[in-house]
Amino acid sequence: MNAAYRINELREQLEYHNRKYYEEDSPEISDYEYDDMLRELETLESEHPELLVPESPTQHVGGSAKPEAGKKIRHDVPMLSLEDKFSREEVVDFVGKMKRELGDPTFIVEPKIDGLSVALRYRDGEFMQGITRGDGINYGEDVTANLKMIKSIPQTLSEKIPYLEVRGEVYMDNEVFEEVNARQEEEGKKIFANPRNCAAGTLRMLNPQVVAERKLSIIIFNLQAVQGKEFKSHAETLDCLSKQGFQVSKYTICRTEDEVWEAICAIDNTRGEFSYGLDGAVIKVDSLSDREKLGTTSKVPRWSIAYKYPPEEKQTKVLHIEVNVGRTGRLTPLAILEPVRLAGTTVSRASLHNQDQIDRLDVRIGDTVIVRKAAEIIPQIMSVIKDKRPDGTSPFIIPDKCPVCGSSAVRETTNEKEGSGILCTNVNCPAQLARLLIHFASRQAMDIDGLGPAVVDALLEKGYIKDLSDIYYLRDRREDLIRDAITGRSSAKKSDTSKSTDKLLAAIERSKDNDIDKLINGFGIRNVGKFAGSLLKNNFADIFSIVNASIEELVRLDGFGEISAKAIIDFFKQKQNIYILERLQNAGVNMKSKAVNSTIDNVLEGSTFVLTGTLPTMTRDEACEMIEKHSGRISGSVSKKTTYLLAGEDAGSKLTKAQGLGIKVLSEDDFMNILK
């Protein structure tokens, strides 16, 4: 292959994966695979120096500051990355080079935490600002409000140091990560691939309360800048920072190459005992004056390297493949393995994700497989050793019936990277009923105040609810609900439990009067959200008209796609869903559209609106309702068919696209003037 072609190909791939890792917090390849590509590029560029350009991924730190996560803050001290090494020989070369340049230096070896790097700034002992690495050289993102939610960050130091800047790694404990993913699945949201992604995504959120709920932690590993104190060594700075209230890196002091390597191996041998992910060890020159003498390149310090541990892999056997059903209805195949020790823990299970993954690996019961821990946390099967396959095996096929309730299971394509999922079609399947009930009661659906996760779990546990429609028959069991303290603690006074029970029953009663788009959204039909529900409400007289609609009728609705139409048809084909509808109707839940024949006038007839940003005096729901009452239509995306873009503060990419297409942009005042 032509060297120039391969260099350009590697640069494009690395820049793509840089964006996925640093800016989107959703890497698609392992660190090991990324490092292999980077090393290949470095080798090619050294062999062809005429092809080296300043924009190459080998010449700069990973990502860029994302303005939507917080305002850009200039770095006082660059937050550089480290040069990665992968063998003992490379570590020995580094130690030897330092000895030649410095005489007899002391080294520090520390665990390398797999998290998100941040800088914390203190003035007169008070925490004043925190920023992400961003581009590492010029700017990072201001995430101060979120960092204040991390309990391990001291808000006030033991000493009133005039100015202090430290660098640390924000991470998420493995147990916390599992809890967060369980909640994500329960709420029907996408689960995180690993703790690093989850920590990074959480820290960039606009809601600090979510950061507090997800219990992020931080370990400080470097002093960036200080005024009012002097230090001679890195070890001295860590000891001082520990006394100030910081959780700091554990370190080992080494003098010889053998001691350095022994420290690296010691971390490797115990990394399974850490409560958080490690992806290597860091080797640093201890003397701060020696560091100053060595300086940095444009990308890395010359006084430090990172040794990356190769992913540990072991052989084991697949004893069985079981299929579990998650709270979203997804059927997930799980390989039951002959127990094997891997990265410090015993592994006996590995997710096979979906049928596409099973087919790609061609993994069968009885196979001998290679198992690795992704990000040192999640076991995964890498490959099958076909030479060891026993006779008589057959390909594994996920069943087309739900193993929990026996209902049909259908294949749903997500995207090429994630493959296809297989889903139980029964919304009242016990495995996913809790998630459905929580969604049904949420504000964007039936808005039943008081029917949250704790109450839902209690209702299911005590057998009050077997399917969705049972919510509207709870009124007949008021005394039982009070007796079992479903809406409160068992130790609460009966009068308090009575009040909370009556409050819940009143909220359920009020929800009966909702328009049918709320009910449609509450069913949690895949690919049928708020916008689709609104279209159905505006074009059909009642729920049963929608049940009897053909796919052609649905697709003819402006903005209603074929995928959503098929989802509606498939949902109402299920007998159990028609049974639920009938019980809801018998309980007095509204089944008629309030939008049909309820228009004020036709002033917006023929106009299609897209909304973006925050309006000054009305919510988006209120604006949508007003548009519909004046015979206008609403679309979720800007296209040539869009008539107006109603834009508020912080309008995003929709505004840019509308301007490019020459679509008229309205403020809230402009919109109200049209209605006059």
In the CATH hierarchy, which fold is given to the domain comprising 67-308?
A: D-amino Acid Aminotransferase; Chain A, domain 1 (3.30.470)
More confident: 447 or 374: 447
SS3 string of 180-243?
HHHHHHHCCCCCCCCHHHHHHHHHCCCCHHHHHHCCCEEEEEEEEEEECCCCCEHHHHHHHHHH
Whether 112 sits among the annotated catalytic residues: the reply is: yes
The token duo for 216 is 């992020």
pLDDT at residue 384 is higher than 70: yes
Q: What architecture does CATH give domain 516-586?
A: Orthogonal Bundle (1.10)
pLDDT at residue 431 is higher than 90: no
What pLDDT, on a 0 to 100 scale, did the predictor assign at position 60? Answer: 61
Q: Among 20, 71, 97, 112, which one carries the catalytic annotation? A: 112
341 beta partners: 346
| Domain locations along the chain | 3-59, 67-308, 313-402, 433-511, 516-586, 608-675
Cβ-based neighbour number of residue 503 at 10 Å:
13
Read off the pLDDT of each residue in 398-403 and give the average, rounded to a whole number.
90
Q: How far apart are CA 338 and CA 272, in angstroms?
A: 19
What pLDDT, on a 0 to 100 scale, did the predictor assign at position 410? Answer: 82
Residue whose token pair is 């006394």: 243
Instruction: Check: CB of residue 663 under 8 Å from CB of residue 651.
Output: no
- Alpha-helical (H) ranges within 118-173 are 144-147
What percent of the chain has pLDDT above 90? Answer: 42
Q: Closest Cα partner for 116 from 138, 86, 143, 148?
A: 143
Confidence label for 434 from pLDDT (cuts 50, 70 and 90): confident
Read off the pLDDT of each residue in 268-277 and give the average, rounded to a whole number.
82
3-state secondary structure at position 166? strand
Q: What is the DSSP letter of 427?
A: T
Q: What is the DSSP letter of 404?
A: T
pLDDT at residue 660 is higher than 60: yes
Buried b (16+ CB within 10 A) or exposed e, 541-561: eebbbbbebeeeebeebebbe
- Angle 222-228-233 (CA atoms, 0-180°, nearest 5)? 40
Q: Closest Cα partner for 64 from 79, 84, 54?
A: 79
3-state secondary structure at position 628? helix
Q: What is the pLDDT of residues 121-162, one digit of tens each?
A: 999 999 999 999 888 888 888 999 899 989 899 999 999 999
Q: How many residues does the chain have?
A: 676
What pLDDT, on a 0 to 100 scale, did the predictor assign at position 375? Answer: 52
Q: What's the predicted TM-score (pTM) here? A: 0.54
324 beta partners: 332
What pLDDT, on a 0 to 100 scale, did the predictor assign at position 228? Answer: 93
Q: How far apart are CA 73 and CA 183, in angstroms?
A: 33
Is residue 453 packed enough to be buried (19+ CB in 10 Å), middle (13-18) or exposed (0-12)? middle
Please count the helices (runs of H) and the strands (runs of E) in the chain. Answer: 24, 22
What pLDDT, on a 0 to 100 scale, did the predictor assign at position 89? Answer: 95
Q: Indicate the CATH number of 313-402 among 3.50.50.60, 2.40.50.140, 2.60.40.10, 3.40.50.1370.
A: 2.40.50.140
What pLDDT, on a 0 to 100 scale, did the predictor assign at position 10? Answer: 81
Q: Which helix (H) or strand (E) covers residue 15, if one does?
A: helix 3-18
pLDDT at residue 612 is higher than 70: yes
Confidence label for 646 from pLDDT (cuts 50, 70 and 90): very high
What pLDDT, on a 0 to 100 scale, did the predictor assign at position 396? Answer: 95
Instruction: Check: CB of residue 211 under 8 Å from CB of residue 203.
Output: yes
pLDDT at residue 374 is higher than 80: no
Q: Which helix (H) or strand (E) covers residue 455, if one does?
A: helix 453-461
Cβ-based neighbour number of residue 385 at 10 Å:
12
pLDDT at residue 65 is higher than 50: no
Q: Which residues contact 77 (CB under 8 A, 6 or more apart)?
A: 119, 165, 224, 225
Q: How far apart are CA 81 and CA 62, in angstroms?
A: 8
Bin 613: left if φ > 0, else alpha if -120 < ψ < 50, else beta.
left
Q: Closest Cα partner for 244 from 371, 149, 154, 181?
A: 154
Q: Closest Cα partner for 521 from 575, 454, 567?
A: 567
Q: What is the pLDDT of residues 336-357, one digit of tens each?
A: 999 987 765 678 888 898 888 9
Bin 366: left if φ > 0, else alpha if -120 < ψ < 50, else beta.
left
Q: What is the pLDDT of residues 501-559, one digit of tens each?
A: 999 999 999 999 999 999 999 998 877 877 788 888 888 889 999 999 998 889 888 76
Backbone phi, then psi, for 239, in 5-degree steps? Answer: -60, -40
Q: Indicate the CATH number of 608-675 among 3.30.1240.10, 3.10.20.30, 3.40.50.620, 3.40.50.10190.
A: 3.40.50.10190
pLDDT at residue 64 is higher than 50: no
What pLDDT, on a 0 to 100 scale, did the predictor assign at position 68? Answer: 42
Q: What is the DSSP letter of 311?
A: P
The token duo for 507 is 């909220």
What pLDDT, on a 0 to 100 scale, did the predictor assign at position 57? Answer: 75
Lowest mean pLDDT among 91-95, 128-132, 202-206, 416-420: 416-420
Q: How far apart are CA 163 and CA 226, in angstroms?
A: 6
Q: Do domains 67-308 and 516-586 have the same CATH topology?
A: no
The token duo for 420 is 């296809």
Q: State whether CATH 1.10.287.610 applies to domain 3-59.
A: yes
Q: Indicate the CATH number of 433-511 among 3.90.550.10, 3.40.50.300, 1.10.150.20, 1.10.760.10.
A: 1.10.150.20
Q: How do beta strands 644-647 and 83-85 pair?
A: unpaired
- Angle 453-522-468 (CA atoms, 0-180°, nearest 5)? 65
Read off the pLDDT of each residue in 462-480 and give the average, rounded to a whole number.
93
More confident: 55 or 586: 586
3-state secondary structure at position 99? helix
3-state secondary structure at position 50? helix
What pLDDT, on a 0 to 100 scale, did the predictor assign at position 128? Answer: 95
Q: How far apart are CA 466 and CA 473, in angstroms?
A: 11
Cβ-based neighbour number of residue 599 at 10 Å:
16
Cβ-based neighbour number of residue 659 at 10 Å:
14
Q: What is the DSSP letter of 22?
A: I
Q: Which residues contact 348 (CB under 8 A, 6 or more apart)?
A: 336, 337, 338, 339, 340
Confidence label for 416 from pLDDT (cuts 50, 70 and 90): very low
